Structure formats: structure tokens, C-alpha cells
Amino acid sequence: MTTSEKYVTAAYVVVFAIVLVYVLLIALKVGRLDREVSELEHRVETAGESAEREPAAVG
Amino acid sequence: MAGATIRPVLSLRRIPLVALALASLVLVTTALVFVFYVAPNDANQGFSQRIFYFHVSIAFTAYACFVCGAWNAFRHLWKRDPRADLESYVCVHQGTIFGAMVLLTGSIWAKISWGHWWVWSEDELVLFLILYLFYCAYFMLRFSLDPGPQRANLSAVYALFGVVLIPVSFAAIRLAKEFLHPRVFTLSGPRFGGWILVTYCVAQSAMLVLAYTLYRIEIAGKRLDLRLRELRDVMA
């Protein structure tokens, strides 16, 4: 591999690496958002169950 | 028909994200095949000229992102479109990422062609660096303010100012008397043809579609994040 070929390869690897890092960061963020949605769903379900169990006023 | 509005047949926003991601993958792969197997070696620079295809395409994509950022900033200031501020921010963010790639690939190309990683006497290089740093400062401004109308307005004004630097950066090389940086685009058209032009067009399309795909992914994430925060506030 000549020096010129090494540099050209390096340039394309840099582009690929930056795009890859960007996509990875986005994937991590989507993972965090997914966890937050699950947490909110859980909280909504818990709130719904406790509302059902609440004793009705008698008399 | 009087009073009828013309609707675009194909709105970019309606293209599914999966289709965009696939199109990016196919186009980038095709561009790489063209760059390494189809395009001929340059008579002067030889193999190293192959950096040109992605370097120039990425540079134009960065400019396009900054112009889109300014256009959305203008929409925010003019029509008070609630989506425009976020869209402007994401465009500037994309432009900065592509700008970093321009600087890095350009630096590698400079090392092969000129023997230096950076040449301070080159107007185009320095002006692009100024443009890049200007947009980096956009984030410092934006995140130094609390979310709200003030932040959106100041960010929009800043993004609009930044777009003025683009023609300056582009024209600098044409105004410079002594230059090292090659001039491939002139008023009479590109100074290349045949497979070099075809490869460049494929690479340019690939970069534009890739940038738009990344933009759509980022904006979808940001909107989801905003909606989740609002939901949390409601539930708290």
C-alpha cells in the first residue's frame, strides 16, 4: 500500500467513524427514551391500579 | 381552479425513515464502488485525488445544512412556526458534524498534496474554519440560555447571521490571487467530466441523502424527548 493510498483510506475511515459514532450516540439516546417510555407506562399502570383499589364511600 | 392550492406530489417528510436509511446505505456503497473502482486516477494528483469525491460532497452538504438552518430560523422569526426552532437547531447540528468531516478529510488531503496538515495562508481553509467555529459557538449561545422564546429568537438570529459567511467562504478562493486549493467549480461549470463527474454526482447524492436521513432520525428523537418531558411535567 502506497503512502497516498494510506492517506485516502484514512480519510474515508474518518468519515465512516464519525458517522458511526453519531449513529451510536443516537442509538444510545433512543435506548434512553425507550426506558423512559417504559417507566412512564409503568407509572400510568400503577396509578390506574391504585385508583381501582381505592375503597368506595359507603353510606 | 381559482383558490386551489398546489400541494407537492412527493413531500420529503412523508418518506419513511427506513426507506431513507436504505437509500443512504445503497447510495454510499455505490459511491464508494465508483470512487475506488470506476473513477480514473487524476493526471496530476494520482490516487490521492479520490478524497475529492467525499470531501467536496461533504462540504456542499455542510453548506446545505447551514442554509436549511438559516431558512428554518427565518421561518421561526417570520411565521413563529413552533417546529422551526428545533428544525433549525438540528440543521445547524448536522452542518457542524459535516463541517468537522470537511476539516478532517481536507487536512488529510492537504498532507498528501501540500505536505502540511494545515496552511494558514489559504483563505478558503481559514474562512471555512471561521465558519465552522462560528457555528460551534451557536451551541454555546443556545445552551447558555434557558429554553423558551428568548433562546429560540437569539438562536434564530445567530443562525441567520452565519449563513452570510457561506458565500464569503465560497467566494474567497475565487478572489484569492495566489492559491493552492484547487478550483473545480467555475462560473462556466465544473472543470471535470466523464466518470469523474458521474462519481462526484453519485457521492454528492449519497451525502445529501445521508444528511437528510440523519436529520430525520435526530429530529424524531428530539421531538420524542420533548413530548416525554411534557408528559413527565403533566404527571408530576
Measured between alpha carbons, how far is B157 from B12 in angstroms, rounded to an integer? 26
pLDDT per residue as tens digits for the range B114-144? 888 998 887 778 888 999 999 999 999 999 9
What is the structure's pLDDT at A5? 87
Q: Are B35 and B51 in contact (CB under 8 A)?
A: no
Domain residue spans of chain B: 20-39+48-177+189-228
Of the candidates A7, A22, A29, the beta carbon closest to that of B97 is on: A22
Measured between alpha carbons, how far is A44 from A56 in angstroms, rounded to an integer? 21
pTM summary value: 0.84
Q: Interface pTM (ipTM) of the complex?
A: 0.76
CB contacts, 8 Å: B100 with chain A: 18
Enumerate residue ranges in chain A where pLDDT < 70.
54-59
Residue B188: pLDDT band by 50, 70, 90 thresholds?
low
Do B235 and A43 lie within an 8 Å CB cutoff?
A: yes
Interface test mutation site (partner A, options B101, B103, B208, B222, max chain A beta carbons within 10 A): B101
CB contacts, 8 Å: A12 with chain B: 32, 51, 54
What is the structure's pLDDT at B3? 43
Measured between alpha carbons, how far is B213 from B61 in angstroms, rounded to an integer? 12
Under 8 Å CB-to-CB from B93, ≥6 apart: which residues? B139, B218
Q: Give the β-pairing of B185-186 and B189-190.
A: antiparallel
Residue B46 DSSP class: B
Measured between alpha carbons, how far is B122 from B207 in angstroms, rounded to an integer? 26
Average pLDDT value over all residues in chain B: 86
Q: B221 to chain A, minimum CA–CA distance in Å?
A: 7
Angle at B44 between CA A4 and CA B192, to 5 degrees: 110
**C-alpha closest to that of B98 among B106, B110, B88:** B106
Residue B7: pLDDT band by 50, 70, 90 thresholds?
low
Residue B186 DSSP class: E
Better pLDDT: B224 or B124: B224
Do A18 and B104 lie within an 8 Å CB cutoff?
A: yes
Residue B112, pLDDT > 50, answer yes
pLDDT per residue as tens digits for the range B148-162? 899 999 999 999 988
Domain residue spans of chain A: 19-48
